[in-house]
Amino acid sequence: MSLLDLQRGFRDYILSGAPEIGPRLGGDPAAGLAVYHHAYRAQLFAGLRDTFEKTWAWLGDEGFDAAARRHVEAHPPSSWTLGDYGEDFPATLNTLYPDDPEVAELAWLDWTLRRAFDGPNAEAISPEALAAVDWDTAVLTLVPTLKVGEVATNCAAIWGAIAEDQTPPAAEPLPQAAAIRVWRQTLSPQYRTIEAAEHHALSLVLAGEPFGGVCTTLSEGMDEAQASQLIGGLLASWIQDGLVCGAE
C-alpha cells in the first residue's frame, strides 16, 4: 500500500469511523484509532467554542455541542489554520434554528469580530490629511477589517450583555431592518448597530462611489438641512470610530 493510499484510508476512517485501514496497522489498533477519531473532533469542537464564544454562551453546552457535531460531520476542514474553521457555521445554525434567527446572527457577529481581531492593519486618516480633502470628489478608503451585515434581531444587545457578564435580554425582532458594522480600531474589535441610511451610505462608499455622489444619493427626498445633518453626522462618526483611512 502506498503512503498516499494509506493516508486516504486514514482520512476516510477519521471522517467516517469505518476502520478499513485496520489490517495495515500493527498490534491491537482499536484504542489508538479511537484516539485519533476523537482528537479530530475534540480539536474542531474546541475551535468552534473558541471562535463562537458568545453563541456558545447563548445556546448552552448541550445546544452548542449538538450544533457543532452536526457542523463538523458535514464540513471537514481544508485550511491550514484552525482560525479559518467555522465560516459557514452561521449557515448551519440557520438550518438548525429556523425560528430563532438571533442564533445565526450572534454567530455571524462572533465570526466577524474574530476576523477583525487579527485582520489587516490600517492607519486611520490624520487630522492634517482630513483638512485637505476635497469632499466632492474624494473617494473614501475604509479600514480593511470593516464588514457590514444585515440583522433582524437584537443580537447585538445579546452579544453585548454576554460580553459584560450580564443576563442577556430575550431575543426579539428589531422594529425595522438594521445592520451591524464590525471593524477594528487600533487593536480592539468593535461593532455598532446602524440604520438603513448609514448602511446604504457605507455600501456606496465600499463600492467606490465618490463622497459627493454618496451625498447626492442619500439626500434624495430630503430637504437640504436634513441631508447635511445626516451626512455630517455619519462622516463624523466614521472618522471618530477610526473607520476612514484615506480620502483621495
Partner 1 sequence: MREPTLPTFQGFGLGLRPPHYQDFLAGEPQVDFVEVISENFMVRGGRPLHVLDAVRERYPVAMHGVSMSIGSADGVKLDYLKRLKQLADRVRPLWVSDHLCWTGVEGFNSHDLLPLPYTEDTLKTVCANIDRVQDVLERPLVLENPSSYLTFADDEMTEWGFLSEMCARTGCYLLLDINNIYVSGTNHGFSPEAYIAGVPAERVRQVHLAGHSAGRGLLIDTHDTPVPDPVWALYELASRRLGQVAVMIERDDDIPPLGELLSELEIARARANGVRGRGLAA
Tell me if 73 contacts partner 1 by CB under 8 A.
Answer: no
Contact 89, 66 (CB under 8 A): no
Of 36 and 216, nearer to partner 1 (C-beta) is 36
3-state secondary structure of 245: strand
Q: Report in angstroms the alpha-carbon separations of 35 from 25, 43, 171.
A: 14, 12, 40
Tell me if 86 contacts partner 1 by CB under 8 A.
Answer: no
Tell me if 1 contacts partner 1 by CB under 8 A.
Answer: yes
Give how many residues touch partner 1 by CB under 8 A.
45
- Taking the C-alpha atoms of residue 111 and residue 210, their distance in angstroms, rounded to an integer, is 30
Residues 185-214 that bind partner 1 (CB under 8 A): 187
- Taking the C-alpha atoms of residue 245 and residue 247, their distance in angstroms, rounded to an integer, is 7
Residue 23: CB minimum distance to partner 1, A:
7
- Taking the C-alpha atoms of residue 219 and residue 32, their distance in angstroms, rounded to an integer, is 67
Q: How are beta strands 147-153 and 188-194 bridged, if at all?
A: unpaired
Residue 4: CB minimum distance to partner 1, A:
4
User: Considering only 70-78, 89-97, 198-206, 213-221, which stretch makes contact with partner 1 by CB under 8 A?
Assistant: 70-78
Give the residues lining the site for partner 1 (CB under 8 A): 1-4, 6-8, 10-11, 14-15, 23-27, 29, 31-36, 39-40, 43-44, 47, 76-83, 85, 116-121, 184, 187
